Amino acid sequence: MKLISSTTSPFSRKVRVLLIEKGFPDIEIEMLNPWEDPEELVAVNPFSRVPALVLNNGVVFYDSQLIVEYIENTMQGPKFIPSSGAARWLVLQGQALGDNLIEVGIRPLLERRRPEGKQIKEKIIRDEIVLARGIGAAAKLVRVMEPPLSIGHIAIACALGFIDFRFPHLKWRDHHPRLSAWYQDMRLRPSMQATVPFEPDKKA
């Protein structure tokens, strides 16, 4: 089994953190840049997106939520999605919230990569406002998300890691000290430390 990932992708990080927390730290990981349409990735995912999970029999799964479901249902180890009840829906809401933060964050990131004169500043400003609102929602949600660690906690933590990596100017900690304290604990978990995002050519 192989996970195709990138060193910067927060969706891939969510899956990698889950695998480590589940007790499979040594699964094969191939790091590629999905934005360059690499042959190895396009061959298994026509959308050239990471993460993609390639099973030993050649079956491929994407997106990250499906990969999470597959891991949760087929691999041994602790469970990260409760099987039923209110706890299940809260955890899945946590994952959806984390994934939404990432999706909204990718939009201004791409806009900023366009030539300076072609960027639509209003779009960037609006997306950053939505992102800030989403962080506020995360601050509320983590208050009611109890232990044990779940995919909801992992998704929100990976989203905040992405925001720190790509949007340090947002300074979200100044507005959400309790979320900041929650994230500080999450950030220090070995699974999160082992998956800190970095630009491939800038690894310390």
Ligand X SMILES: N[C@@H](CCC(=O)N[C@@H](CS)C(=O)NCC(=O)O)C(=O)O
Binding of residue 64 to ligand X (CB under 6 A): yes
Neighbours of 139 (CB within 10 A): 19
Q: Which of 180/197 has CB closer to ligand X?
A: 197
Q: Which of 48/180 has CB closer to ligand X?
A: 48
**C-alpha closest to that of 164 among 8, 4, 6:** 8
Residue 48's Cβ-side half-sphere holds a number of Cα atoms within 13 Å equal to 9
C-alpha 27/C-alpha 17 separation (Å) is 12
Neighbours of 189 (CB within 10 A): 17
Residues 13-42 that bind ligand X (CB under 6 A): 34-35
Least CB distance from residue 167 to ligand X, whole Å?
Answer: 14
Encoding tokens for residue 16?
């990698």
Residue from 3, 11, 32, 158 binding ligand X (CB under 6 A): 11
Report the DSSP beta bridge partners of residue 160: none
Least CB distance from residue 119 to ligand X, whole Å?
Answer: 19
Binding of residue 48 to ligand X (CB under 6 A): yes
Chain positions contacting ligand X, by CB under 6 A: 9-11, 34-35, 48-51, 62-65, 99
